[in-house]
């Protein structure tokens, strides 16, 4: 993960991680 990527889409990455965790955590 480069600094540019983090600067371009910090929310997108966080949203993706949260979405994946939510889907996996779903029983």
Q: What is the reported pLDDT for 16?
A: 92
Q: What is the reported pLDDT for 23?
A: 96
* In contact, 6 and 13? CB cutoff 8 Å: yes
Burial class of residue 5 in the structure, from the number of CB atoms within 10 Å of its CB (0-12 exposed, 13-18 middle, 19+ buried): exposed
Q: What is the reported pLDDT for 7?
A: 67
Q: Per-residue pLDDT tens for 1-27? A: 677 766 666 778 888 999 999 999 988
Q: What is the reported pLDDT for 22?
A: 95
pTM: 0.49
Q: What is the reported pLDDT for 4?
A: 72
């Amino acid at each position: 993960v480069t600094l540019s990527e983090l600067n371009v889409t910090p929310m997108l990455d966080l949203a993706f991680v949260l979405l994946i965790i939510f889907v996996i955590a779903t029983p």
